[in-house]
Chain A
Amino acid sequence: MHIPDGFLDTVTIVVTYAIFIMYLAYSLLKTKGISADKISLATVLAAGIFAAQMLNWPLPGGTSLHFVGGALAGILLGPWLGFLTMFLVLFIQCIIFHDGGITALGANVFNMGIIGVLVGYYIFIMTNKLVREARKARILGAFLGGWISVVIAGIACGLEIGFSPACPYGVCVTVPVMGSWHAVLGVIEGIITALVVDYIALKAPYIMQDVGVVRK
């Protein structure tokens, strides 16, 4: 889902960069005074997501996917620190490995760092409010959060590359392609997110205390 250089028009580049910079500044404000332990956890999660994203799974039938991790970061760290974690991963991927274009950094951070984290986080919270049984709520919430966050991020990505003066009807092509493929591929993101969240909730429940949904 990393948009490379050359896919976005100037307006999209400027708008997505503006959103990302403002969101980054606000996230830094919101995480001011955070504990050193939380920074430690965010760092380990960032390293884990970076490594997990290197595992591209080629699927017979002509497409491939890799784990994104936005929902996982949001669920484990909350929306602001979760965003900063994803930003660190995407920034290193872009600057050191040119995975994702420098002109598309704003869009990539918007899709995977903002949308991915927020959608995953809020779906997880809502599911935990609606489903009574704690473990069922946790697994279902993390699965839906991971799955739907990737679908919405994919659709956003389709809108960004489809909106171009050179190709005015591009969104009619890109949004269905990105949305439908990610609806299928996102199931795997959901399963991984659910497995990791459930494992952490069982083995280290203190990690999820700040999210406010840890129940016995």
Chain B
Amino acid sequence: MISAKSLIVIIVLILISPVFGIILADMVGYHEPLDVAAELLGLKDISEEINWTPFFDYTVPGLPDVVGYIISGFIGVGIILGIGYVTYKVVGGMKRKEA
């Protein structure tokens, strides 16, 4: 379902993602335009107060942020590929039945 080339690109993206997502973000200060607009209006992010997931903001409990970020990347990609694989099999099975 996924070529080796595509898989390698995705794995490389995940492995280098903490450099951009955590290390450089800490150095420069991660601040999206949305954060700028929200600050000007005084809007309050309540995500942490109503959080339901152990992987909040791409972290893994008990692990350093960089390692957690990489593992979160693999978890996310794994779930997406899993959902895609099941859909692929179901649709493939339906097509074979129709034929």
Contact = CB atoms under 8 A, between A and B. Distances in A.
Interface residues of A, number: 58
B69 to A, nearest CB: 7
A177 B40 contact: yes
Given A58-B20, A88-B83, A173-B41, 19 more contacts: A43-B1, A43-B88, A44-B3, A44-B84, A46-B84, A54-B21, A54-B58, A56-B30, A57-B20, A57-B24, A63-B36, A64-B29, A88-B84, A97-B55, A98-B55, A157-B34, A161-B34, A181-B36, A182-B33
A59 B6 CA distance: 28
B81 A97 contact: no
Given A43-B81, A50-B80, A54-B69, A35 B43 contact: no
B51 A161 contact: no
Interface of B: 1-3, 6, 9-10, 13-14, 16-17, 20-21, 24-25, 27-34, 36-38, 40-47, 50-53, 55-58, 69, 72-73, 75-77, 79-81, 83-85, 87-88, 91-92, 95
A96 B6 CA distance: 23
Contact of B34 (A1, A52, A89): A1
Contact of A64 (B32, B57, B76, B88): B32
Interface stretch (A2-10, A71-79, A128-136, A141-149): A2-10
A65 B85 CA distance: 31
A95 B50 CA distance: 12
Nearest to B50: A5
Contact of A89 (B21, B29, B75, B80): B80
A92 interface: yes
A54 B34 contact: no
Contacts of B10: 47-48, 51
| Residues of B contacting A: mostly | helix
Contacts of A42: 84
Interface centre among A48, A54, A56, A158 (most CB of B within 10 A): A54
Nearest to A60: B28
A58 B30 contact: yes
Nearest to B30: A64
Contact of A173 (B6, B28, B37, B75): B37
Contacts of B31: 58, 62-64
